[in-house]
Amino acid sequence: MEIIVSVTGKISAEHGAPVCGLGIGAPGVVDGEKGVVRSSGNLGWENKPLAEDLSAMLGIPVTLANDANAAAYGEYVCGAGKQYNSVVLITLGTGVGSGIVLNGKLYEGNEGAGAELRHEVIRFGGEKCACGRRGCFEAYALATALIKQTKWAMEKDRQSTLWRLCSGDIESVNGKTAFDGAQQGDKTAKQVVSNYLRYLAEGLANIANTFRPEAILIGGGISAQGEKLTIPLQKRVEKLMLGHGRYAPVKVLAATLGNDAGLVGAAMLAKNNSL
């Protein structure tokens, strides 16, 4: 918090103008309306009135949102979602994040505890999830799940190009390895990518059916795969979702703001609140 106060002061001095509002995207369950971090494992906070505390230190209004929600809003305002009114952002990395913007408004659920699309079950009795249930989308969509599948397939196919791609060191497999192998035509790599996309598509089709957004944006490290990811994913989602994409299409697009999405979104939410 002290660093935030100090940086805010520096920005104000550099621009010769006061900072008129501050937006924060914080990890955990965040009640944006009340400005309270309900619980954040990463920060060790419980019911922390962050907006009020910072506002008292800075003397300006402070707007708070969950970091994934702020990222969704950022992509909606000036990223991959800027031409749409309703978008859902799914970030795929070491964690799965999600944020929902409906008709231009961020949807956070009661006390900010909603929009947790990663815990939709896509396989009853499936892989164990950190939330305690089994078969959640996150358990299949994580980059670590893809890496696990890649390693497993490599053990079964010693001839696969995947071995060459990681110089024979299976521990250096990352979220990109299977995509690279598939690009080079390796059968085992193609199978791994295909399975991964199958699970992603099940989750995204549920999202498409629930919200019917104009676009679902894919962020996180894996979005660097661009159309290699989004085109096959779009086709699969269309097959699964209601109406098979014959009406009210749902585009699947790569997010474009990267790590800046949360910053931009938090700033825009603060701007909206101070207007």
Q: Which residues bind Zn ion (CB under 5 A)?
A: 119, 129, 131, 133, 136
CB 245 within 8 A of CB 253: no
Q: State the nearest-atom distance from the C-beta of 132 to Zn ion, in Å.
A: 7
- Who's near 247: CB < 8 A, 6+ residues apart? none
Q: State the nearest-atom distance from the C-beta of 72 to Zn ion, in Å.
A: 19
Which C-beta is closer to Zn ion: that of 129 or that of 141? Answer: 129
Residue 247: Cβ-neighbour burial (10 angstroms; 0-12, 13-18, 19+)? exposed
CB 201 within 8 A of CB 240: yes
Q: State the nearest-atom distance from the C-beta of 99 to Zn ion, in Å.
A: 17
Phi/psi at 255 (5° precision): -65, 155
Q: State the nearest-atom distance from the C-beta of 100 to Zn ion, in Å.
A: 17
Which C-beta is closer to Zn ion: that of 137 or that of 179? Answer: 137
Encoded tokens for 215: 């676009």
Which C-beta is closer to Zn ion: that of 34 or that of 119? Answer: 119
CA–CA gap between residue 186 and residue 171 (Å, rounded) = 19
Q: How many CA atoms lie within 13 A of 252 on its CB side?
A: 28
H/E stretch holding 188 reads helix 187-211
Amino acid of residue 93: G
Encoded tokens for 261: 């999405």
- Who's near 152: CB < 8 A, 6+ residues apart? none
Amino acid of residue 132: G
Q: State the nearest-atom distance from the C-beta of 214 to Zn ion, in Å.
A: 27
Query: Which of 205, 169, 166 is CA-nearest to residue 178?
Result: 166
Q: State the nearest-atom distance from the C-beta of 271 to Zn ion, in Å.
A: 33
Which C-beta is closer to Zn ion: that of 63 or that of 98? Answer: 98
Which C-beta is closer to Zn ion: that of 38 or that of 134? Answer: 134
Residue 140: Cβ-neighbour burial (10 angstroms; 0-12, 13-18, 19+)? buried
Which C-beta is closer to Zn ion: that of 1 or that of 131? Answer: 131
Which C-beta is closer to Zn ion: that of 31 or that of 138? Answer: 138
Q: State the nearest-atom distance from the C-beta of 137 to Zn ion, in Å.
A: 8
Alpha-carbon distances of 200 from 120, 185, 223, 253, rounded to whole Å: 12, 21, 13, 13
Q: State the nearest-atom distance from the C-beta of 111 to Zn ion, in Å.
A: 19
Which C-beta is closer to Zn ion: that of 207 or that of 250? Answer: 207
